[in-house]
Amino acid sequence: MAGITKTSKYTYRSTGHGGGDANVSIEYSADLSALTRLEDKIRLLQEDLESERELRQRIEREKADLSVQVISLSERLEEAECGAEGQFEINKKRDTELTKLRKLLEDVHLESEETAHMLRKKHQESVADFQDQIDVLTKQRQRIDKEKCKFQQEVFELMSQVENINKERIHIVKHSEKLEVTIHELNIRIEELNRTIVDITSHKTRLSQENIELTKEV
């Protein structure tokens, strides 16, 4: 019989302040073929118990019928014994039949006991096997639960690290934006200073030229 797989999924969602999302899914599978085999064994065990019940009922009916026949033959035998000697052969024949019926009743009873013993033994073996498989499945489930908890803990730790990284990234982005604004302001200031220097240089050149001209006139 092909294995049946059961899959469970756990999802953890982490959202950072900067819009970053992180999703992690935990999946684990458990083979249910063993459970299917156990269900089949339970069904077979129930069928065996039903067969035992029907067999006991049939044997009880046969025992009751044979008991009635034994009683009837006993009464007829007693009546025959009270009759004439001519009935001796008939009585002997009936006595033989009675002996056969008693032997048949004993055989049926013995068969019933043997069958009941066989079914009880089979039932005990099935129960023991069933319990062994339950123990195995229980241990497997405990191991899976333990591994799942360990994996979940690792995922939670990983998500915590991811959140810290996202926070650090947001901090770095904000700091970079702030630095860009500062650099832009400094560039504007530098341009203003350059223009001022150009103006001063131009003014200085003009004054020098005027000074030279005044000197020539003197």
Cα–Cα distance, 116 to 56 (Å, whole number) = 8
pTM over 0.75? The answer is no
Q: Give the Å distances, CA to CA, from 65 to 100, 105, 156.
A: 14, 10, 76
Token duo for residue 146: 């333990």
The secondary element (H helix, E strand) that includes residue 210 is helix 88-217
Residue 19: per-residue pLDDT: 43
Q: Please say if the pLDDT value at position 15 is more than 50.
A: no
Average of per-residue pLDDT across 189-202: 89
Task: Tell me how long the chain is.
Answer: 218
Average of per-residue pLDDT across 82-103: 73
Nearest C-alpha neighbor of 2 from the set 28, 24, 32? 32
Average of per-residue pLDDT across 178-207: 89
Residue 94: per-residue pLDDT: 78
> Whole-number mean pLDDT of the chain?
76
Looking at the chain, the whole-number percentage of residues with pLDDT higher than 70 is: 78
Cα–Cα distance, 191 to 180 (Å, whole number) = 16
Average of per-residue pLDDT across 43-65: 78
Residue 56: per-residue pLDDT: 76
The secondary element (H helix, E strand) that includes residue 31 is strand 21-31
Q: Please say if the pLDDT value at position 9 is more than 50.
A: no
Task: Give the tens place of pLDDT for each residue, 135-179.
Answer: 888 898 899 989 999 999 999 999 999 999 999 999 999 998 999
3-12, 114-123, 165-174, 198-207 — most confident range? 165-174
